[in-house]
Amino acid sequence: MKKYLVLISFSFLIIFSSLAEHQNEPYEPDGWDKFQVKGSENYYKFKSELVEDKDVKKEIDNSQKTGLISYLLFEDNKIKIDKENLPNYIKSNNGIMPSHSVGKSLVSYVLGHAICEGYIDSIEAILDDWSVLDGTLYKGQKLIDILNMSAGDQKIIGERNFNSDNGIQDKTGKRKLNKYFSNWGSNEIKNFTKFKKIKSSL
């Protein structure tokens, strides 16, 4: 019996240690594989006519509470407000940041072009002709549900075991049922779009 108790105690120690280590990982942009996008040397130079906005300044200066670290207003073909208060982890990394949701936006942009060019019927298209999805919960899903992160995968995809599965919340902090933030859907849409393009050329 003692052997089993020692084994169980040891197992709990390992499991909870890994949970603690996972939750307290430092933000490290160089910690993952990456493709760094370098800016052009021949970039377009926007015209500026900067004005001071007290409300924006107040929000930026209070970024620890507001979460607002950057504000850009482009109006009448000119930059009117350009304020930032970047965290140290961004400053110390020469401004290089992971794309996160910018990647999702780019995937949506490419999907829009694929729809306009006729490779995909619409955002209401059903994912039923891609054999890769056979036997998965994504088979038969509407494209719009995957775009809106409401494909019903929140109990399967993500880091549920670490209590950090990125559930989307409303303004009151209450979690929205069936709404879930992850990169999986974007990767699926990207590959589905590629599949439809290749299929159309056969």
Query: What pLDDT does residue 158 have?
Result: 57
Q: Render pLDDT for 177-202 as a digit per residue (tens, 0 to 9).
A: 555 566 778 888 889 999 999 988 87
Instruction: Quote the DSSP letter at residue 202.
Output: -
Mean pLDDT (whole number) for 80-109: 81
State how far the Cα of 118 lies from the Cα of 108, in Å rounded to an integer.
Answer: 15
* Count of Cβ atoms closer than 10 Å to residue 18 Cβ: 12
* Count of Cβ atoms closer than 10 Å to residue 13 Cβ: 10
Q: Hey, is 192 helix, strand or coil?
A: helix
Lowest model confidence (mean pLDDT) among 14-28, 36-50, 91-105, 143-157: 14-28
Question: For the whole prediction, is pTM greater than 0.85?
Answer: no
